[in-house]
Amino acid sequence: MLPKGIRSRLIVYITLMLLLIVLLLEGVFVVAIHSYYLGSAMETLNSRARTSVTFFNKYLESYTLKERARYILENLSSEESSKVEVLSPDGKVIINSLGFSSGEQVTTPDVHDALLSGRGSFQSIKPVNGERILAVSVALTDRGSTVGLLRYSVSAEPLYSVILTIALNAAFVGLLVIGFGFVLSLIIAKRIVGPIQQLTGVAKEMATGNFAVRAAKRYDDEVGTLAVTLNYMSDEIMKSEKLKYDFISSVTHELRTPLTSIKGWGETLLVGDLSDKQETLQGLEVMTGETDRLIGLVEDLLDFSKFQAGEIRIVRQPYDLRGLLEDMLLQFRYRGQTKQIRLYADLPDQPLPVDGDFNRLKQVFVNVLDNAFKFTPAGGEVRLSAELRGDIIQVTVADNGEGIEATDLAQLGNKFFKGRSRQSGSGLGLAICKEIIELHDGHLRIESEFTVGTSVIVELPRYEVEQHLPPPSM
């Protein structure tokens, strides 16, 4: 079972990796040392054997094997550390460097190879007669015929002892490296996991609603980028929360105002003289108007809720948008007269074919024109224009009203944003309009200059038709 924590896993993985690397290097090192020491010893034996046999074969050619053996024994150097043996052609010891003639049968592979090819070597991995040896056998010849063997052998135990000592020292160094790597892994794991733990703590604080907490960016890496992203998310959530609370406050105010008027006039009519027809009609008119305001606010809230939940579905059908715009002119002409605002229209003669939901698009243009009249003072003007621009139908509603400040313009149309205007409204109208236009594969944008005026531009895809457009279904 692997540890669950990232820090523990990092320590385990780094330590295991170091252990494998150290074991691999130790193995390669021990093999190299083994090959070097034993190879050097074997090469030394081969060199001595070749030199000796060359001399003996050249200058003792007429000697018998026993005479050669005696001569070899008598002329051995006192510093010779190898065991020297003279063997008969059948592999029996005639004499060795100790002066004994044991007659022992030597069956190691070097003897067999030397009898066949004139030279053979042997390195025992397992002990032979209690110890591991290195041996070289070379043929003694007389007129081209093998008359015996000269064998040099040496104990390999001292070499293995040296190799073992070096291997143990290397193992000790390896353990030090692993220990150092373990400590290093602790430091690395702390430097990696520390920022992540700090980010986890910040995320938990944010989950409890504390968005003022900030994540520290320690390094310019992926974790640092995550810290910046977390802080950015916190800022956006705080902005969204502020907009939401401002929206709730604004809507509460918007709801309270008509309710107060309705309640006030209701109480007035209850305690007043109902025979006063003019006062009664005035009260009913105010109550009706405020009720309409309430209905509008509630409808905006319901529509926005449906859009947010993705429950709004538009029913498209092809029709001439020009007819809808002409209906808007008729609907708002009377309002322009009562508010002393001039309403101008600039509509093309050719059809404006669209494939859309008539009622939803009507909702958009009613909202846009209503805003234009709401924010335009008496004596001002509102202009409704439309034109074909290739595959796009562009409808513009422009006014010369109070305009929008640059700081508010960037956020206008976002959910919960109402702006700093003192005019009544929920602040949801443009957000809903924007959603409707986007569902029609179009775009809605706002251009404005403070104290000069505002233009709302709606762009919809043109519908290609080959025959007369049917009237929209109401």
Tens of pLDDT, residue by residue over 384-422, are 999 999 899 999 999 998 888 877 776 665 555 555 554
pLDDT digits (tens, 9 = 90+) for 343-358: 999 999 899 999 999 9
State both tokens at 10.
Answer: 């990092």
Per-residue pLDDT at 228: 87
> Mean per-residue pLDDT for 179-204?
84
> Mean per-residue pLDDT for 359-383?
90
CATH 3.40.50.1400 fits 222-309, yes or no: no
> Mean per-residue pLDDT for 465-469?
57
CA torsion sign, 306 to 244 to 431 to 341? positive
What dotted CATH number matches 6-161? 3.30.450.20
Q: What residue type is 120 in one-letter code?
A: G
Report CA 214 to chain centroid distance, whole Å. 22
Question: Quick one: 317-461 is in which CATH superfamily?
Answer: Histidine kinase-like ATPase, C-terminal domain (3.30.565.10)
> Mean per-residue pLDDT for 170-185?
90
pLDDT digits (tens, 9 = 90+) for 96-154: 887 777 778 888 899 999 988 889 999 887 887 778 889 999 998 888 888 899 999 89
Spans of all domains in the chain:
6-161, 222-309, 317-461
Give the lowest-confidence range in 60-64, 150-154, 444-448, 456-460.
60-64
> Mean per-residue pLDDT for 226-234?
87
> CA-to-CA distance for 341 and 333, rounded, in angstroms?
9
Per-residue pLDDT at 24: 93
Per-residue pLDDT at 471: 57
> CA-to-CA distance for 424 and 190, rounded, in angstroms?
57
> Mean per-residue pLDDT for 289-297?
78
Q: Rounded to two decimals, what is the model's pTM? A: 0.49
| Of 98 and 453, more confident | 453
Enumerate the β-bridge partners of residue 84. 152
> Mean per-residue pLDDT for 247-260?
73
Mean pLDDT, the chain, whole residue set: 83
Confidence check: pLDDT of 204 > 80: yes
pLDDT digits (tens, 9 = 90+) for 63-88: 888 888 888 888 877 777 788 889 98
Q: What residue type is 27 in one-letter code?
A: G
